Structure 1
Amino acid sequence: MGASITIVGLGSGNPDRLTVGIVKQLQQASEVYVRTKEHPMMSVLDDLQVTVRSFDYIYEAKDSFPEVYASIADALIEKAAAGADGAVIVYAVPGHPMVAESTVQMLRDRCGSEGIELAILGGESFLDEAFIRLGFDPIEGFQLLDASGLNASFLQPQLHTVIGQVYDAFTASDVKLALMELYPDDYTVIVGHALGVEGQEKVLRVPLYELDRVEGYGNLSLVYVPRSDDDMLRQRTFARLHEIVGILRSPEGCPWDREQTHESIRKNLIEETYEVLETIDEDDPEHMQEELGDLLLQVMLHSQMEEELGTFSVFDVIQGLNDKLIFRHPHVFGKTRAEDAEEALQNWEQMKAEEKRRKGQNPEESSVLDGIPKDLPALMKAYKLQKKASKVGFDWERIGDVFLKIEEELAELREAVEKGYAPEEQIGELGDLLFAAANAARFLGADPEEALSRTNRKFVRRFRFIEEQLRAQGKTIQESSLEEMDAIWQQAKNQV
């Protein structure tokens, strides 16, 4: 059967905290391995006359920590499998075996299937010393985070936060940048070196922006961010936005917000969308940031109304979107490949069809034109209708055919006007002309809505130029003749 493995914790570094049971395990073991000799307890093991072998050589041979931890687990399993029956291999790790020890988790996952008996004995973790030295009670709310994988989305200011594995100034810099996503640059954080280790312990309070300038980072370093109930620290979080919208709609909230319904603010959603588009056209990032916030508010309000009814919440909306994005991008999150944008789009369409099948819909029975919102602006809708139809071959072969169609529709519109057809017929002919023009945009690879928007902006610039020039002459636009305005318009064509 081979040897068994017993994992023991060497504690945070204070020899007085090493338990009698762990000392016995170390002294009675067939072999003792330590993850690293870079720990204050090594001198204690020397005093106890415990011979140890370390895995420090693996750290030097591998390029990343995951590779190091996997290699250590491999080595221990090999040694146990080759060991004598009844022998006990002790693997000693810093702190507590179940706190921030990847190799322990790997051994727990593998030993059973390898037929190797595994036992784990606790030890004082660096957290025990942190609670004492930093003076906080974890029952108030506490989270332990790994510096190597820290993401701003993990941070919750209302919880005491300890960030471990801050090995060096580079890691501290990554921690600083993540914290700055949420906390002010001058926010006070605490750095702890070798907590509880006599002669080595250091506790430093520094502003956040100086976090990576602190000296002494190593295996026994951590960063502590005390909990805070200051709502301003949560202003950059989605949870705070959800909370604020809920308050606005509550009985104690805003009377106007409470009265709104999906129908009453329907137009707001459209208006805010167009205001975002305007900031894109103006290439104004600062204004875009503000308008995107206003658009997000509309999503939050509609979701909050449904949350109050118990149908869904904004978190259901987010989950649905995440599921859809992952499902429709198998070339990113799955095994399908996409070498270019066209292949990626094909994958997207295939997965949309698969979604319909899973919902009991038969894509073969649906219309090619399905999926286009009925309330889209007409020009945009014409473009999308033609684009969908073209995918099944219902299309002109070349843009020259489109130009002929435009000329045909223009002639029919002219005839309808010159012969005094009914207004409805004239409007119909005008619609046909616009529809054909939208088709030309598609052949040019241009969005007709964007093309017309550009022309609208150009017209506004040139017409305002006319107003400015007339104003400089002491005239108003109402006092000027068409000839005067047209002359200035020709100037504007060369200047704006």
Structure 2
Amino acid sequence: MGKINIVGLGPGDESLISQGALDILKSSSKIYLRTEKHPTVDKLKESINYINLDYFYENEDNFENVYREIAEFIIEKSNEGDLVYAVPGHPRVAERTVSQIEEIARSKGIEVEVIASMSFVDAMFNYLAIDPADGFKLIDAFEIENSYIDTNTSMIITQVYDHFIASNVKLRLMECYDYDQEVCIVNGAGVKALESKKYVPLHELDRPENLFNYLTSVYIPKSSKKMYNTVHDLEEIMSKLRGPNGCDWDKKQDHITLKKYIIEEAYELCQAIDNDDIDEMIEELGDVLLQVVFHCQIGKETGYFDLTEVLNSICNKLVYRHPHVFKNVDIDMNNFDKTWEDLKKKEKGESTVTEGLTRIPNHLPALIRAEKIQKKAALVGFDWNDINDVYKKIEEEYKELLDECKEGNIKYIKEELGDLLFSIVNLARFLKVDPEESLNLTNSKFIKRFKFIEDNAINSDRNLEDMTLEEMDKLWEKAKFQ
């Protein structure tokens, strides 16, 4: 088994290859180039023999697969003796194959040595006359969709090979930057004969007249226009509002005083969803998120928890409660509710069904809480077998309510009315209808019909108080057909 020497070819100019890299290239008889499409190769081919691996790119559309196949190929060839694997730039800068080769080599006990040369990043900063000590982030254009874009620092995006990639980059960046944010298209950095740079507004990045090739990168300076688009931005704003020079109202809030707001915001979001109002949904979701971050900021200040712990908790919960997705566990999706409840019980260390029932919050609207209680009981078989039994139960509870009304005992009237409502929730569950939604529909219907009555009274120059019940009932019947 041979040694793998990984060599950097520099950014493109022969003068920028390290002497160590040149020495090993000229002394080796087995050299593999990840790609022949690099300016340095034109000069090197006069003094070295090599095999280029560009054909891997022709056989695969997915770059991740290409990189993996090249890495496995180099490992396989090392079984035949020492070799040199050469890559553009610096081997440890934006070179996925290098990290993969090292990972496999470690598992197989293969010796790997990396011989560095100048990276294209160094060449870019030199060409643009920018000090990297001020901070920057390096992103592969093929991974930009899943990359965190930090507008507070400068950024280099590599492998912007063509206009299609440039378009994808532009669309992703416009989620974070202003449309006229200045960006720089840099070609051939470190290759004197090919170097060029062009500053354009972000929205013009993919214009046909702009040049893109395998030596193209895009540089975006730190943005002077703050774009608020991450949870981290909201955290920072909340921290400032609670800070010494913040807002007096925000600073005096605690978990108790904020309770009512999370409920209000949740209902306002529901209203936006019912209205099918996307703009309103965006606003109300932001209000809900604000409440989460507000509580997390208070938790952070008191030293009990922060947003990181909250995120860790919910992520772990989702993974744990979806073993069929994250752990390839076979489960019966027809009984998913039961599986979900069993996982919750195990997660919370509960041994009885009653513990799960008492965990249902008292603050929930009574209809919703009743439905949840019934569903949990039904999961262990405590339920009616037939909907006709539910009808009979409603009749029974109604009669018992009438009996108590005749007696005039308010304590038992309240109890029997609750029993009747609970049995009606059971009926809604059997009919697969949301009782809360049903009642709200009736509430809205009542308001609409009552408005019809009042509008008619106003048009007749009358007050509702002066109308008889019979008159209002007639208008109520008319309202049904409006």
TM-score, normalised to structure 2, is 0.94
Of 203, 214, 219, the residue aligned with 1:219 is: 214
Is 1:152–1:182's contact at 8 Å kept on the other side of the alignment? no
Q: Distance in 2 between matches of 1:307 and 1:398?
A: 52
SS of the residue corresponding to residue 388 of structure 2 reads: helix
Q: Within the alignment, does 1:26 sit opposite 2:22 as a pair?
A: no
Q: Within the alignment, does 1:129 sit opposite 2:123 as a pair?
A: yes
Alignment of 1:41-440 (within 5 A): 41-47=40-46, 49-83=47-81, 88-151=82-145, 154-214=148-208, 215-228=210-223, 230=225, 232-233=226-227, 235-337=228-330, 340=333, 342-356=334-348, 361-364=349-352, 367-417=355-405, 419-440=406-427
Q: Distance in 1 between matches of 2:384 and 2:165?
A: 59
Call closer, same or farther: CA 1:35–1:241 in 2, change over 3 Å. same
Q: Distance in 1 between matches of 2:465 and 2:373?
A: 42
Shift of residue 398, structure 1, vs aligned partner: 1.3
Q: Distance in 2 between matches of 1:173 and 1:415?
A: 75
- Listed one character per residue, the Cα deviations across residues 32-72 of structure 1 (whole Å, up to 9, x for unaligned) are 2111111111211133x212210011111223212222222
Shift of residue 112, structure 1, vs aligned partner: 3.6
Call closer, same or farther: CA 1:331–1:211 in 2, change over 3 Å. farther
Call closer, same or farther: CA 1:334–1:170 in 2, change over 3 Å. farther
SS of the residue corresponding to residue 407 of structure 2 reads: coil
- The count of residues paired between Structure 1 and Structure 2 equals 481
SS of the residue corresponding to residue 151 of structure 1 reads: helix
Shift of residue 420, structure 1, vs aligned partner: 3.3
Is 2:141–2:165's contact at 8 Å kept on the other side of the alignment? yes
Is 1:368–1:389's contact at 8 Å kept on the other side of the alignment? no
Q: Distance in 1 between matches of 2:204 and 2:139?
A: 20
Q: Which residue of 1 aligns with 2:430?
A: 443
SS of the residue corresponding to residue 223 of structure 1 reads: strand
Shift of residue 300, structure 1, vs aligned partner: 2.1
1:35 partner letter: R
Is 1:372–1:384's contact at 8 Å kept on the other side of the alignment? yes
Unaligned runs of 5+ in 1: none
Is 2:181–2:223's contact at 8 Å kept on the other side of the alignment? no
214-223 vs 371-380, which deviates more? 214-223
Q: Distance in 1 between matches of 2:262 and 2:346?
A: 30
Q: Distance in 1 between matches of 2:99 and 2:375?
A: 53
Is 1:98–1:104's contact at 8 Å kept on the other side of the alignment? yes
SS of the residue corresponding to residue 224 of structure 1 reads: strand
Is 2:367–2:436's contact at 8 Å kept on the other side of the alignment? yes
Unaligned runs of 5+ in 2: none
SS of the residue corresponding to residue 152 of structure 2 reads: coil
SS of the residue corresponding to residue 66 of structure 2 reads: helix
- Listed one character per residue, the Cα deviations across residues 275-333 of structure 1 (whole Å, up to 9, x for unaligned) are 22222222222222222222222222222222111011122111211111122112222
- Listed one character per residue, the Cα deviations across residues 371-390 of structure 1 (whole Å, up to 9, x for unaligned) are 31122111111111111111
Q: Within the alignment, does 1:12 sit opposite 2:4 as a pair?
A: no
Q: Distance in 1 between matches of 2:146 and 2:175?
A: 6
Shift of residue 114, structure 1, vs aligned partner: 3.1
Call closer, same or farther: CA 1:303–1:60 in 2, change over 3 Å. same
Q: Distance in 1 between matches of 2:123 and 2:433?
A: 64
1:390 partner letter: A
Is 1:14–1:197's contact at 8 Å kept on the other side of the alignment? yes
SS of the residue corresponding to residue 166 of structure 1 reads: coil
2:169 partner letter: V
2:410 partner letter: P
Q: Distance in 1 between matches of 2:454 and 2:279?
A: 29
445-454 vs 460-469, which deviates more? 460-469
Q: Percent identity?
A: 43
Shift of residue 117, structure 1, vs aligned partner: 2.5
Q: Which residue of 1 aligns with 2:461?
A: 474
2:272 partner letter: T
Call closer, same or farther: CA 1:348–1:78 in 2, change over 3 Å. same
Is 1:22–1:121's contact at 8 Å kept on the other side of the alignment? yes
Is 1:329–1:347's contact at 8 Å kept on the other side of the alignment? no
SS of the residue corresponding to residue 317 of structure 2 reads: helix
1:441 partner letter: A
Q: Within the alignment, does 1:462 sit opposite 2:457 as a pair?
A: no
2:370 partner letter: A
SS of the residue corresponding to residue 360 of structure 2 reads: coil
Shift of residue 30, structure 1, vs aligned partner: 1.5
Is 1:330–1:347's contact at 8 Å kept on the other side of the alignment? no
